[in-house]
Every structure is written in C-alpha cells, then in structure tokens.
C-alpha cells in the first residue's frame, strides 16, 4: 500500500513541477509573508530521537534561504512594519524570516547562511532563559520522554510523577516549571554535550556579537502562554520581556511573538498591554499572509518550518497554496 508520506511527497513534487507555487507567489505579489522557525542543527543531528520537529538542518535552511533570496524579496520586520504604518506598498513578494524562543544555535549555525544571502532575521527571545544555563521547559519535557522511551529511566515512581504532569500548553508556565524542575534535576547525569550544544538558549554575549542582520524581539520572560495566566502575570510577562530586550540590545524597536501563538493563546487584553509598553508589533502562528491592512498586533505567519518538510513542501507553504486547500 502507498504510504501517506509517499503520496504527500509525490503530490508536492507534482505541484512544484506545474509551477503553481510560482504562479501563486506572483498572484500574492503585494502580500507580506512571515516565516516562522525555531532552531537549527547539523544534518547529522537528525539521528537524535530528542530533536524536535521544529528544528531545521543547516542544509535545509540554506536551500530555503536560497529560494527566498532568488524568488522573493527578504525584508526586515522593522521595514515591513513601516510599510503597514505608512500604508506604503510592500516591495513585491516581501518575506520576513523569524525565529521563536532564542536558541544559541540560531546564531552559531544561522549567521553564516544569513550573511551569505544577506537576509535579515528577527529572533524572539524568552528573556528569562538568556544567560540562565537552563533548557526551555518544553525541551526538558521532550528529553525526559526520550530518557523514558530509551529505558535510561526505569524508576516507576519517577515515571508516574512524570505522567501526572499537566499539559504545559494548557496550564500556567509557573506551575508546570515548578513540577518538572525536581524531575529534571534527577536527569542531570544523562545530559550530553549534544543536548547542551543544540538546546542551549542564546547568551547576552552572543546577542551582542551577532551581525547586524539579526534583530531581536520579545517572547515573554518565561515562554508563557498568555491565556493561561492572570491579568497581572500577563502584564508582567510582556512588560519584563520587552524591557529586557531593550536593555540587552540597546534598541527600541521591539517586536513581540506570542508563545504558541494561536488565536486561543492571547487576547485583545495582551494586544493593549503590548501597545502600552511600546512593542512595535506582534506575530502569531495564525496561518496566512499579511496585507497593508493587517492588524499590527496579530500578524500572520506561515506554519513553523520543520525538519520533516521537503524543499517542495517548504515552497508550497511559502507560496500560500496550503491556505487554499485547508
Ligand atoms: Zn516559543
């Protein structure tokens, strides 16, 4: 029987061959496309079972950057925001590259590729993690699952406690972090140099050393899904992260990205808080392209680029063809 994956690969190759992607890019010439990435790894790192699908290899990233440089017009997020504010048409086929969370690998694997193609990028930082020497709570969760699946953890009591953790996407980040922390401390001996290389958050020194193609935004302090918090906590998470990015970068154009970013994860309340604390705009994970009339605090992005996506799937996502069929 033909697998779903094979069918998808065949369909995406066929669509690319027909030139529909290029036709759609041309059709939506005046729209702004915002790409969403998270983390970069080397091609050989694909072997690690704990690598999240939100990673992209340097090989994939290079082909994707080559595609947008050749077929589109990469602009910075600040440039795109100016066009919306002034209602001045975007350069044709404008595209913005963004990274969420603030992994060090964005800098040490991404910088050379971005420099080669002269593509600007915005990295949204969960600011509590900068210089913290800590992994993101969702990476701790993923690593522990891997330790259990690979039988490196067999203690029944530990596994029961882990299985009873709440779902971090539907609870307060504070209570989840408090519960996972003691379990994580028991896993320290299992953390390898590869975990540290690929999962480490960026440091303030790397932020300062990065070339001028990098600009920086806020992504809350604790990587908090705002809709799971009280109004006071939401204000704190937004305000403190925006201030931290201003302090580290000495820049006052600070865009924001909502953690998780779906329509359920933030509200008009958060948009007002962002405006009050001087954030320039905010990106979501609501799929789609943007126009000059798009609301600045709920900009749409193309779904997160994944290590599992072929170049053809990437090109289909960028062209917007998925918006038609979904
Ligand atoms: Zn995030």
Domain boundary among 170, 190, 210: 190
CA of 260 to the centre of ligand 1 (A): 6
- d(CA 53, ligand 1 centre) in Å: 13
Residues 206, 176 share a domain? no
Instruction: Output the CA 100–ligand 1 centroid distance in Å.
Output: 5
Residues of the chain with pLDDT under 70: 1-21, 23-27, 323-326
Q: Dihedral sign, CA of 317, 321, 324, 326?
A: negative
Angle of the 156-163 helix axis to the 137-149 helix axis, nearest 10: 140
Q: For residue 226, report the distance from its CA to the centre of ligand 1, in Å.
A: 12
Query: Does residue 34 sit within a domain?
Result: yes
Looking at the fold, whether 83 and 205 belong to one and the same domain comes out as yes
- The phi and psi torsions of 258 (rounded to 5 degrees) equal -75, 125
Which residue blocks in the chain are alpha helix, DSSP H? 4-18, 20-27, 58-71, 77-86, 104-108, 111-117, 137-149, 156-163, 173-185, 193-199, 204-209, 231-249, 268-276, 311-319, 321-325
Ligand 1 mean position to 283 CA, how many Å? 11
Q: Do 211 and 174 belong to one domain?
A: no
Distance 1 CA to ligand 1 centre (A): 38
- Confirm whether 105 is domain-assigned: yes
User: How many angstroms separate the alpha carbon of residue 257 from the centre of ligand 1?
Assistant: 8
Within a 10 A sphere around the Cβ of 325, how many other Cβ atoms? 6
Asked if the structure places residue 270 within a domain, the reply is yes
Quick one: pLDDT at residue 133? 86
Return phi, psi of residue 99, to 5°.
Answer: -125, 135
Point out the domain boundary residue: 145, 163, 190: 190
242 found inside a domain:
yes
Q: Residue 82 domain-assigned?
A: yes
Judging by beta carbons within 10 Å of its beta carbon (0-12, 13-18, 19+), is residue 2 exposed, middle or buried? exposed
Report yes or no on 314 lying in a domain: yes
**Interval between CA 62 and ligand 1 midpoint (Å):** 22
94 and 150 share one domain: no
Residue 175 and residue 56 share a domain = no
Q: How many domains, the chain?
A: 2
Domain that holds residue 21: 4-133+200-325
Cα–Cα distance, 198 to 39 (Å, whole number): 8
**pLDDT given for residue 45 in this prediction:** 98
Say yes or no: 180 and 108 in one domain. Answer: no
For residues 53 and 170, state if they share a domain: no
Q: Is residue 195 part of a domain?
A: no
Span from the CA of 230 to the centroid of ligand 1 (angstroms): 19
User: What is the domain-level CATH number for residue 65?
Assistant: 3.20.20.370
- Whether residues 70 and 208 share a domain: the answer is yes
- Cα(102) to centroid(ligand 1), Å: 8
Tell me the pLDDT tens digit for each residue of 288-322: 999 999 999 999 999 889 999 999 899 989 987 77
The reply to whether 148 and 297 lie within a common domain is: no
Distance from Cα 19 to the centre of ligand 1, integer Å? 33
Q: How far is the CA of 223 from the centre of ligand 1 (A)?
A: 6
Return the pLDDT at 29: 77
Same domain for 145 and 97: no
| Residue 125 is assigned to a structural domain of this protein | yes
DSSP labels for 20-72? HHHHHHHHTTTSEEEEEE-EEE-GGGGG-TT--TTEEEHHHHHHHHHHHHHHS
CA of 191 to the centre of ligand 1 (A): 22
Domain identity same for 160 and 247: no
Q: 16 C-alpha vs ligand 1 centroid, how far in Å?
A: 30
Q: How far is the CA of 101 from the centre of ligand 1 (A)?
A: 5
Residues 125 and 142 in one domain: no
Dist. CA 259 → ligand 1 center (Å)? 4
pTM score, whole prediction: 0.93
| CA of 220 relative to ligand 1 center, distance in Å | 9
Tell me which DSSP letter residue 230 carries: -
- In the reported structure, the alpha carbon of residue 75 is separated from the centroid of ligand 1 by a whole-number distance in angstroms of 22
């Amino acid at each position: 029987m033909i697998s779903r994956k094979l069918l998808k690969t065949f369909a995406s190759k066929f669509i690319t061959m027909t030139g529909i992607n290029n036709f759609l890019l041309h059709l939506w010439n005046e729209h702004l496309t915002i790409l969403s990435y998270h983390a970069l790894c080397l091609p050989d790192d694909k072997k690690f079972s704990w690598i999240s699908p939100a990673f992209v290899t340097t090989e994939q990233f290079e082909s994707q950057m080559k595609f947008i440089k050749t077929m589109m017009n990469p602009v910075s997020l600040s440039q795109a925001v100016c066009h919306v504010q002034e209602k001045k048409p975007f350069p044709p086929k404008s595209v913005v590259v963004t990274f969420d969370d603030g992994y060090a690998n964005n800098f040490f694997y991404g910088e050379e590729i971005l420099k080669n193609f002269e593509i600007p990028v915005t990295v949204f930082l969960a600011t509590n993690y900068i210089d913290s020497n800590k992994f993101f709570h969702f990476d701790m969760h993923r690593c522990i699952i891997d330790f259990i699946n690979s039988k490196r953890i067999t203690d029944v009591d530990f596994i029961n406690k882990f299985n009873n953790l709440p779902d971090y996407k539907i609870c307060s980040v504070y209570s989840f972090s408090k519960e996972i922390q003691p379990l994580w401390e028991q896993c320290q001996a299992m953390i390898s140099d590869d975990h540290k290389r690929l999962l480490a958050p960026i440091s303030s020194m790397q932020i300062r050393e990065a070339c001028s193609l990098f600009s920086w935004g806020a992504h809350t302090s604790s990587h908090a899904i705002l809709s799971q918090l009280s109004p006071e906590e939401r204000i704190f998470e937004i305000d403190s992260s925006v201030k931290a990015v201003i302090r580290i970068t000495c820049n006052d154009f600070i865009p924001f990205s909502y953690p998780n970013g779906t329509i359920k994860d933030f509200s008009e309340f958060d948009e007002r808080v962002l405006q009050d604390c001087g954030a320039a705009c905010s990106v979501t994970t609501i799929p789609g392209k943007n126009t000059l009339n798009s609301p600045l605090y709920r900009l749409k992005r193309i779904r997160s680029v994944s290590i599992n996506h072929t170049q053809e799937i990437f090109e289909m996502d960028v062209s917007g063809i998925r918006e038609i069929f979904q």
